[in-house]
Amino acid sequence: MGYNAARALQLLRAGSGRADASFRPGQEEAVRHIVDGKGRLLVVQKTGWGKSFVYFIATRLLREAGAGPALLISPLLALMRNQIAAAERMGVRAATINSDNVGDWASVEKSLSEGKIDILLISPERLANERFRTQVLAGIAAKISLLVIDEAHCISDWGHDFRPHYRLLERIVKTLPPRLRLLATTATANQRVMDDLAAVLGPKLHISRGELDRPSLTLQTIRLPSQAERLAWLAEQLATLPGHGIIYTLTVRDANQVAEWLKTRGFHVDAYTGETGDCREDLERALLNNQVKALVATTALGMGYDKPDLAFVIHYQSPGSVVAYYQQVGRAGRALDAAYGVLLSGREEADITDWFIRSAFPTPQEVAKVLGALEEEPNGLSVPELLGRVNLSKGRIEKTLALLSLEAPAPLVKQGSKWQLTAATLKEAFWKRAERLTALRRDEHRQMQKYVDLPFGRHMRFLIEALDGDPRSVTAPTLPSLPTNASVESVKDAIAFLRGASLPVEPRKQWPSGGMPRYGVRGHIPIDYQAQPGRALCVWDDAAWGESVRRGKYHDGRFSDDLVSACVKMIRAWNPRPAPEWVTCVPSLRHPDLVPDFAKRMASALGLPFRAVLVKTNDRPEQRAMANSIQQARNVDASFALDEQPVHQRPVLLVDDTVDSRWTLTVCVWLLRKNGSGPVWPMVLSQTGHKG
């Protein structure tokens, strides 16, 4: 099977839509290597180099020579629209099987069996699906001409974006025919990652590695500890920065908050997160077409998004590692002579990164709880059933199940919807790996903090050296440094914004799975017994009012008059209708005077009567000690009641200090409505956050 250079160039030009397109250094060599079957290949090239062209052109050439289909494993199926469109222009018939297109599975499988698909795209998680392995993969395994592993750094224990199901590839690769063509691609891999990939993908792995230097990028770091300072800086600089870009945040809440702030300053921006849902494609297109100044994004807008003329990438907080940062900032300036990559560093990022590091692996206690629950149930337990058995969050249970199921041999296995124990026991190697990776991630975070403290002009060299590249080609930044602070007036405006923004508290419409047996309720909550949409002043311990709430509850034993004024201002801006005509509050045995005192002062400021009609009937653990919704619901079952005084039949404001699961508010509203009150408007001082 000989390589056809003229046909390869023709395909490149068809895929790119440019009649004058030519291969970039290393691109054609990689295609030739694959087509000629010269062995397994790892391509490490910076973002925007065109790794997808390599595997799509190679696939087309192999298919034209009579070879079987290719299989592409990628974590980016939702972000591969551009690449698939390019493949279709080359005549490559691409299809995908994933959780979002279940209705297409039958037709895709039929086309695959009939040889009408050139390349099948799947996520690594699909490899764990027994039906896919036995009914789809087994039928084409012998025919596969090329296995492509996209974002291959995810295989590596050392990788910055480790996806647990990539571990399955290690076992699959070992069973492949030695002559099967294999291509692995990534934009970011230091020597440790490449050594790890060589161990997994084979000792004879060929490596094609490009230059890491990005001369078009002017990098800068600025420490601005408070959120208000960074919001102010963004507003001032976005007004002068040319072009369009991405602003990265570490959390979904920050992405939404930064986007809302910039909108109030007149900028056309949108938030893009894992919760964006069906709007993702529209937002990606809006940025591609320069219809927005910027997208404020989490890493949900990460690997795979390609806009060559991004003029800036700004980080609202520092990522956890140099490798992750290089991947993200490298989206800017691919087809521009000059672009900015600016990292703003704030005080909260250390806590956020620490939380991500600590939660990356289950603890021995979490593993013991899950295995213990399964041991008591020989027929197995579903995730909802486990939620009722163990006091762990759904996320922690699912992470524990996923990671343990990927061990070899695995101590548990999924049968249908239920998880069951196997005869295997969890090996000590699991904990050693978790310990090693946790220590590595802490080292990477410390390295990132060194990057933050670098003087202007030293950043690109630092990144290249950290990635084990050659920094000798690095030149001075092409753009001037940006201001390192914001005006006092802008900071004041940002503080006012942070303190004026409230958060929704949505009413619950269903009782928990299994109901609340002591109250005798289950299923749907009648609409007349549901809460009205509520409001929270802030998030626990945040930069707006959260610190004042924490101090008032645990230090002063009394919420400040400033918090009373802020809540009154919030309620007036909220303007619920029908308007509350009296005020009550959620009682507590642990802090009996804290919330009633606050609610009384707030009622007085609103000119409304206060009546404490709810009572706490018995002491229970704090809700924050309950890790999932079912446990939180059971914790308040029959723990509240009404006293003997009659309940006003008019609309009421229900006050509490914090809200997490909303079960406390749901029960209190149900009691009030059931006993004759008018509509109930919940109002809380804070929502809980990571540290709530």
- Do 16 and 164 fall into the same domain? yes
Does 497 map to a domain? no
- Do 91 and 169 fall into the same domain? yes
Distance, CA of 320 to CA of 441 (rounded, Å): 8
Give the CA dihedral 115, 121, 127, 131, nearest 10 degrees.
-50
Average pLDDT of span 13-36: 94
Report pLDDT for 690.
43
- Do 180 and 229 fall into the same domain? no
Does 137 map to a domain? yes
Neighbours of 159 (CB within 10 A): 25
73 three-class SS: strand
Q: What is the DSSP letter of 513?
A: T
Of 189, 209, 229, the residue that ends a domain is: 209
Q: Is the pLDDT of residue 115 over 60?
A: yes
Does 386 map to a domain? yes
Flag the least confident range among 207-216, 217-226, 518-527, 673-682. Answer: 207-216
- Do 191 and 225 fall into the same domain? no
Q: Is the pLDDT of residue 169 over 90?
A: no
Report pLDDT for 560.
97
Q: What is the CATH number of the domain that holds 513?
A: 3.40.50.2020
Report pLDDT for 78.
63
Flag the least confident range among 81-90, 107-116, 118-127, 213-222. Answer: 81-90
Q: Is the pLDDT of residue 124 over 50?
A: yes
Model pLDDT for residues 459-469, shown as the tens digit of each residue: 999 999 999 88
- Do 528 and 481 fall into the same domain? no
For the chain, percent of residues with pLDDT exceeding 70: 97
For the chain, percent of residues with pLDDT exceeding 90: 69
Distance, CA of 628 to CA of 636 (rounded, Å): 13
* Structure-block tokens of residue 684: 């809380």
Give the CA dihedral 352, 358, 362, 365, nearest 10 degrees.
-120
Report pLDDT for 158.
60
Does 434 map to a domain? yes
Assign 691 a pLDDT band (cuts: 50, 70, 90).
Answer: very low
- Do 603 and 620 fall into the same domain? yes
Does 294 map to a domain? yes
Q: What is the DSSP letter of 610?
A: B
The pTM of the full predicted model, rounded to 2 decimals, is 0.86
Does 496 map to a domain? no
- Do 146 and 276 fall into the same domain? no
Backbone angles phi, psi at 60, to 5 degrees: -65, -45
350-383 burial by CB neighbour count: b if 16+ within 10 A, else e?
eebbeebbeeebbeeebbebbbebbeeeeebbee
- Do 544 and 580 fall into the same domain? yes
Rounded to a whole number of angstroms, the CA Rg of the chain reads 28
Residue that wins the pLDDT comparison between 167 and 77: 167
Distance, CA of 45 to CA of 626 (rounded, Å): 46
Report pLDDT for 177.
79
Report pLDDT for 608.
97
User: Quick check: 49 and 24 in contact, CB under 8 A?
Assistant: yes
Residue that wins the pLDDT comparison between 159 and 600: 600
Give the CA dihedral 53, 149, 436, 446, nearest 10 degrees.
10
Model pLDDT for residues 277-297, shown as the tens digit of each residue: 888 889 999 999 999 999 999
Average pLDDT of span 43-50: 86
- Do 348 and 416 fall into the same domain? yes
- Do 196 and 226 fall into the same domain? no
Average pLDDT of span 314-321: 95
Model pLDDT for residues 432-443, shown as the tens digit of each residue: 999 998 998 999
- Do 313 and 441 fall into the same domain? yes
Q: Is the pLDDT of residue 205 over 70?
A: yes
Of 176, 209, 242, the residue that ends a domain is: 209
Does 188 map to a domain? yes
- Do 441 and 563 fall into the same domain? no
Give how far the C-alpha of residue 35 lies from the chain's centroid of Cα atoms, to the nearest Å: 37
3-state secondary structure string across 227-287: HHHHHHHHHHHHCCCCCCEEEECCCHHHHHHHHHHHHHCCCCEEEECCCCHHHHHHHHHHH
Distances in whole angstroms, Cα of residue 496 to Cα of each of 35, 319, 421, 490, 567 = 61, 27, 54, 10, 14
Flag the least confident range among 158-172, 223-237, 373-387, 507-521. Answer: 158-172
Helix (H) or strand (E) holding 341: strand 339-345
Residue type, 238: L
Model pLDDT for residues 262-271, shown as the tens digit of each residue: 999 999 999 9
Average pLDDT of span 372-399: 94
Flag the least confident range among 296-305, 376-385, 497-506. Answer: 296-305
Residue 52 structural domain: 5-209
| DSSP count for the chain of H helices, then E strands | 25, 22
Q: What is the DSSP letter of 521?
A: B
Does 614 map to a domain? yes
Q: What is the CATH number of the domain that holds 310?
A: 3.40.50.300
Q: What is the mean pLDDT of the chain?
A: 92
Report pLDDT for 633.
93
Of 164, 193, 209, the residue that ends a domain is: 209
Distances in whole angstroms, Cα of residue 433 to Cα of each of 350, 405, 430, 648 = 23, 15, 5, 60
Domain count within the chain: 3
DSSP letter for each residue of 446-504: HHHHHHHTPPTT-HHHHHHHHTT--GGG----SSPPPPSS--HHHHHHHHHHHHH--EE
Assign 692 a pLDDT band (cuts: 50, 70, 90).
Answer: very low
Report pLDDT for 329.
94
